[in-house]
């Protein structure tokens, strides 16, 4: 019988994995009735993960996962991040460590969240730093325990990092566009800056400079800024269309939600995908394969990302004086029906 996970509990109760985790770890923000339901189901399902108690965590050692939402515009409760946290949980269990989760929203709450994450006396900390900036690093440098940062390749970072190979993904997408005959390729950029999106945009610009007919200056004119959510991207692209913006025949998006939102806006305006505009997303969230047409996307393995972070943290605990290490998880292109092959 498969082990029960936080996601299983959340699904049965119709709540988010974050709420389950907060209830198990006795965090604020969960009402008494919901907490009672969580604890009752945990007992019924014989869930053996962390309950947040020191008695439960002292035996095998604890890994503390801190999920830092600086603004919450990117690090939302989406399938990508749910899958990533599940993979961290599975990897921790496979090495017989207990995982505790702490959710932090807003930089003003970071110090309090760190204190909470340390209250279970972890052997090390995993930090989901998708929305982190370099300014946030100082809060962690004074901590006397091993730290591995996931999903954020920050400048001047002196911690171990496990990140997405964004350049690899962008170049796969751009090469595929070229193979299908596209030269006029634009970019749908997130209006909220995170390091992943910065790297993807830079990779897009570098590829155009080296491989496209137009120069770098013209490439800048093909960048369109939109909100990194399905509804926000749809509204922003609809507004650009209303302004008379002429989009190029192919578009690469910072993430799948932007790509899917743009597709909805185009279709509503009578612009067909891929007949009129081809589009590629990034992350390969489950929704991408069920859209009409199904979205071609860059796959990022959440399983590999989470497992590599746990393995690196365990290594760091045994090699505390070694220099910081950086790991990048490669990508794959998932070809579907959102890119048209142009006639030569």
pLDDT at 35: 83
Q: Are residues 17 and 144 in the same domain?
A: yes
**Residue 18's pLDDT is what?**
67
Residues 110, 58: one domain?
Answer: yes
Same domain, 42 and 118: yes
For the segment 74-117, what is each residue's pLDDT rounded down to a tens digit?
A: 877 677 888 898 899 999 988 889 999 998 999 899 999 999 99
Do 215 and 172 share a structural domain? Answer: yes
pLDDT tens, residue by residue, 252-294: 999 999 999 999 999 999 999 999 999 999 999 999 999 999 9
Say which range, 41-55, 155-169, 195-209, has the weakest mean pLDDT. Answer: 41-55
CB 253 within 8 A of CB 280: yes
Q: Is the pLDDT of residue 57 over 50?
A: no
**Within this chain, do residues 16 and 58 fall inside the same structural domain, yes or no?**
yes
- Does 125 score more than 80 pLDDT? yes
Determine the pLDDT at residue 179. Answer: 96
pLDDT at 58 over 60: no
State how many domains the chain has: 2
The DSSP code for 286 is G
What SS3 state is found at 336? Answer: coil
Is the residue at 336 inside a domain?
no
Q: What pLDDT does residue 48 have? A: 64
Judgement on whether residues 41 and 159 belong to the same structural domain of the protein: yes
Average pLDDT over residues 62-73: 90
Do 118 and 262 belong to one domain? Answer: no
Spell out the SS3 assignment of 154-201: CCCCCCEEEEECHHHHHHHHHHHHHHCCCCCEEEEEECCCCHHHHHHH
Instruction: Give residue-wise pLDDT tens across range 201-227.
Output: 999 999 998 887 655 445 556 999 999
Q: Identify the domain containing residue 289 by its residue range.
A: 166-300
pLDDT at 77: 60
Return the CATH number at 16: 3.40.50.2300
Residue 339 lies in a domain: no
Query: Measuring CA to CA, how many Å separate 303 from each of 69, 180, 270, 279, 329?
Result: 21, 30, 38, 26, 10
Same domain flag for 127 and 180: no
103 and 224 share one domain:
no
343 occurs within a structural domain: no
Q: Does one domain contain both 131 and 145?
A: yes
Residue-wise pLDDT for 3-14, tens only, equals 677 878 888 888
Look at residue 1 and tell me if it is in a domain. no
| pLDDT tens per residue across span 238-248 | 999 999 999 99
What pLDDT score does 8 carry? Answer: 82
* pLDDT number for residue 216: 43
CA separation for the pair 224, 236 (Å, rounded): 9
**Which pLDDT does position 167 carry in this prediction?**
97
Judgement on whether residues 231 and 89 belong to the same structural domain of the protein = no
Residue 230 lies in a domain: yes
Within-domain flag for 340: no
Query: Do 113 and 231 have their domain in common?
Result: no
């Amino acid at each position: 019988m498969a082990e029960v996970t936080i996601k299983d509990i959340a699904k049965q109760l119709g709540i988010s994995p974050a709420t389950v985790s907060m209830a198990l770890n006795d965090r604020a923000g969960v009402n008494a009735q919901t907490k009672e339901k969580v604890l009752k189901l945990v007992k019924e399902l014989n869930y053996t993960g962390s309950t947040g108690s020191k008695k439960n965590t002292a035996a095998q050692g604890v890994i503390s996962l801190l999920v830092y939402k600086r603004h919450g515009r990117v690090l939302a409760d989406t399938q990508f991040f749910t899958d990533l946290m599940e993979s961290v949980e599975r990897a921790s269990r496979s090495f017989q460590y207990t995982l505790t989760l702490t959710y932090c929203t807003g930089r003003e709450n970071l110090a309090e969240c760190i204190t909470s994450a340390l209250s279970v006396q972890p052997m090390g900390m995993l930090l989901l730093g998708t929305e982190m900036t370099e300014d946030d690093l100082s809060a962690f440098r004074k901590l006397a325990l091993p730290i591995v940062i996931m999903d954020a390749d920050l400048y001047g970072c002196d911690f171990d990092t496990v990140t997405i190979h964004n350049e690899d993904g962008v170049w796969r997408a751009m090469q595929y566009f070229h193979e299908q005959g596209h030269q006029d390729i634009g970019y749908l950029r997130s209006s909220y800056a995170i390091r992943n999106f910065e790297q993807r945009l830079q990779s897009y610009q570098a590829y155009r400079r080296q491989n496209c007919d137009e120069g770098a200056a013209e490439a800048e004119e093909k960048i369109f800024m939109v909100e990194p959510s399905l509804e926000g991207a749809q509204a922003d692209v609809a507004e650009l269309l209303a302004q008379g913006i002429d989009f190029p025949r192919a578009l690469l998006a910072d993430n799948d939600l932007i790509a899917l939102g743009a597709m909805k806006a185009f279709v509503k305006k009578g612009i067909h995908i891929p007949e009129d505009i081809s589009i590629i997303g990034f992350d390969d969230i489950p929704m991408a394969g069920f859209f009409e047409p199904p979205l071609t996307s860059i796959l990022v393995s959440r399983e590999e990302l989470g497992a590599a972070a746990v393995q690196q943290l365990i290594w760091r605990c045994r090699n505390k004086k070694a220099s910081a290490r950086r790991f990048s998880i490669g990508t794959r292109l998932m070809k579907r029906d959102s890119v048209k092959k142009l006639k030569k």
